[in-house]
Structure 1
């Protein structure tokens, strides 16, 4: 099993977990940033202490311009152009990139979304478009660990 397949398999085990801001408890509550971290931990690629996500208000992306999501993801991943299974797709909601998802097959992601919890969505789902029909995907990252 490749590293990406391990990440995708670990992400599937989080499906159905309710959404809870600043949380990482499989089956009880998680947000999209902590889902990425929890998936890496479950895949055996990271230890929890390897990446600490500082507290952030639920709507920080509406009022701030700092790229907090990017700062965190770049601690453990690097940017790529062509997505592969297990990569992290980052989306802009509000002023900054503020949502992450895990690619589990060529056109499907797993992500934690407010009011929906951890769900599986097609990459062309309406959730990933703004009110003008523009796709919100801004960057793609791959975990730095070796294959």
Structure 2
């Protein structure tokens, strides 16, 4: 069984990895999707499906819920209020746009995510992010978080 502590330890180990669009290599470069992919590989081995190439404006151009649909195929969706540390959070950068950003919920009201133009960081799950929070997902086979 995968524990939430294992997820958080792996996600935290990516902190400082430089931002690189479409990449997923701990210490070398990743984007927000690459971070989640890398955590998945560390916990489960092979990724559940191939990720097609994508441009920085892929969500706006396609107008499809590509990231949200992929999460629904491979993870268990939980209500927004039930998200626990170790869960994957998805965000809409605009209320009318498809989901485009991913993060992993950490303890102490923090998120771990690849910050565009910078690196993987641990930052506050501040009101700015909460206003864009669209969906939450558990990795497969994850245990409950102590309440």
Q: Does 1:26 align with 2:21?
A: no
Q: Does 1:61 align with 2:59?
A: yes
**Match for 1:75 among 69, 73, 76?**
73
Structure with higher strand content: 1
State the partner residue of 1:96.
98
State the partner residue of 2:133.
137
**Deviation at 1:10?**
0.3
State the partner residue of 1:132.
none
**Deviation at 1:2?**
6.0
* Residues 11 and 39 in structure 2, CA contact (< 8 A), matched pair in contact too: yes
Runs (5+) with no aligned partner, structure 1? 130-134
* Residues 84 and 106 in structure 1, CA contact (< 8 A), matched pair in contact too: no
Q: Distance in 2 between matches of 1:23 and 1:29?
A: 6
Q: Distance in 2 between matches of 1:49 and 1:8?
A: 18
Q: For 1:116-135, what aligned pairs fall within 5 Å after superposition?
A: 116-124=118-126, 126=128, 128=129, 135=131
**Deviation at 1:58?**
1.2
Question: Runs ≥4 in structure 1, deviation > 3 angstroms?
Answer: none
Which moves more between the two structures, 2-11 or 13-22?
A: 2-11
TM-score by length of 1: 0.85
* Residues 91 and 136 in structure 1, CA contact (< 8 A), matched pair in contact too: yes
RMSD value, Cα: 1.9
